Amino acid sequence: MSFSYVPGEFRIPKIPNFNPPDGVWVGSGTDSGYFAFRLPYSYWGDNIMVRNDLCFSLKVNGSTLSPVYTPVNGYMHWSGGGHLYYTQTYGWVYMTGMFPGYEPLEENVKYDRDKGVYTGEGDAFYTCWGLPSYEGDEVELRGRGSLYGKEPKTLTASWNRWICETGEFGRYEPQGSVTGTRYLGLPRFRGSNNEYFVRSLEKTNGRFTYGRIRYQGGKWVIGSIGADSGWHEGDEPDRDGGSVSFRFCKNEGSEAKGSDITVTLQDFVKGDETGKAYLGEVAIWR
């Protein structure tokens, strides 16, 4: 499980109330499909992680509309039990039974004096001039066309995500309907001897390494078992927190001296491994 940082900008249609970041962390292996990035505002959290959905979803009276990254009149749109998309005439339109981009028809809007309401004819659709800005924000969808004057609907936003409140790297806690804890960055531990131990990005022979902390001879050790100057034995450090004690050991009859070392989670840091990123390819005509 790991993430690689991909610089550049999101190549997706314009999204209201959302500014895409300049780059994202893209998951691979067991983290495949996950994206982590920093947002320039705190509506949804400064540092978030998502699975597949790169922006928020919308709900119309509880029915979820998922983001679709295909432009309609310059903006992306949302689809589910209906479609919400941008039109040149009415702004944002919510409609069922027609395709995104369809320009609805409204005519004969008039005031019914007997009933004290406005009525209209044409397609059945709803409109609003702006979308929700954050979770919990509500926008009213007003009936238009044959629904003119009818009961409005409520439009809200939601985003299943994980949030890290300690910075870009660290433990990400679930928000919305997602579960479990996610991590970005490598856990860094500090020993009572002021030495730092950073976990490796990948496993070797099924085990991580933590700087000088390695799995050797069926034990977690600092140093090398049998070294003339001694070594330390303990347990694997835990990225969920807590401390691990490493007991000083020496060869029988050795006069080497040393103290036990307590290793404690300090923070999470960015690794220094790099790789190639292929952004695209073109044919060469000869």
Q: Is residue 67 pLDDT above 80, yes or no?
A: yes
Are 220 and 127 within one domain? no
pLDDT digits (tens, 9 = 90+) for 248-268: 999 999 999 999 999 999 999
Structure tokens at 185: 């960055």
Highest mean pLDDT range out of 2-6, 139-143, 267-271, 282-286?
139-143
Residue with tokens 């998951």, as numbered in its chain: 27
Residue 277: inside a domain:
no
Residue 210 is classified by DSSP as: B
Are 48 and 88 within one domain? no
pLDDT digits (tens, 9 = 90+) for 76-121: 999 998 999 999 999 999 999 899 999 999 999 888 887 788 889 9
Residue with tokens 């070294």, as numbered in its chain: 227
Dihedral of the alpha carbons of 47, 49, 53, 56, in degrees to the nearest 10: -40
Residue 236: inside a domain:
yes
Residue 276: inside a domain:
no
Confidence grade of residue 232 (pLDDT, cut at 50, 70, 90): very high
- When divided into structural domains, the chain yields a total of 3
Are 125 and 50 within one domain? no
Q: Is residue 277 pLDDT above 60, yes or no?
A: no
Are 23 and 69 within one domain? no
Domain of residue 26: give its range: 1-54+159-185
Amino acid of residue 257: K
| C-alpha dist (Å) from residue 145 to 62, 87, 88, 102 | 23, 15, 16, 14
DSSP letters spanning 51-80: ES--S-EEEETTEEEEEEEEEETTEEEEES
Residue 142: inside a domain:
yes
Are 252 and 170 within one domain? no
Give the integer Cα–Cα distance in Å for 41 and 18.
9
Are 146 and 192 within one domain? no
199: part of which helix (H) or strand (E)? Answer: none
Give the integer Cα–Cα distance in Å for 150 and 49.
39
Residue 194: inside a domain:
yes
Give the integer Cα–Cα distance in Å for 275 and 111.
66
Residue 200: inside a domain:
yes
Backbone phi and psi for residue 130, each to the nearest 5 degrees, phi listed first: -155, 160
Are 119 and 130 within one domain? yes
Are 69 and 102 within one domain? yes
Residue 274: inside a domain:
no
Are 229 and 116 within one domain? no
pLDDT digits (tens, 9 = 90+) for 19-40: 777 788 998 888 889 999 998 7
Give the integer Cα–Cα distance in Å for 147 and 143.
5
Q: Is residue 233 pLDDT above 80, yes or no?
A: yes
pLDDT given at position 284 = 62
pLDDT digits (tens, 9 = 90+) for 159-193: 999 999 889 999 999 998 899 999 999 999 999 99
Are 169 and 198 within one domain? no
Chain center to CA of 256 = 50
pLDDT given at position 152 = 95
Are 66 and 149 within one domain? yes
pLDDT digits (tens, 9 = 90+) for 131-158: 998 888 999 999 999 999 899 999 999 9
Are 73 and 131 within one domain? yes
Residue 166: inside a domain:
yes
Confidence grade of residue 280 (pLDDT, cut at 50, 70, 90): low
Structure tokens at 2: 């790991």
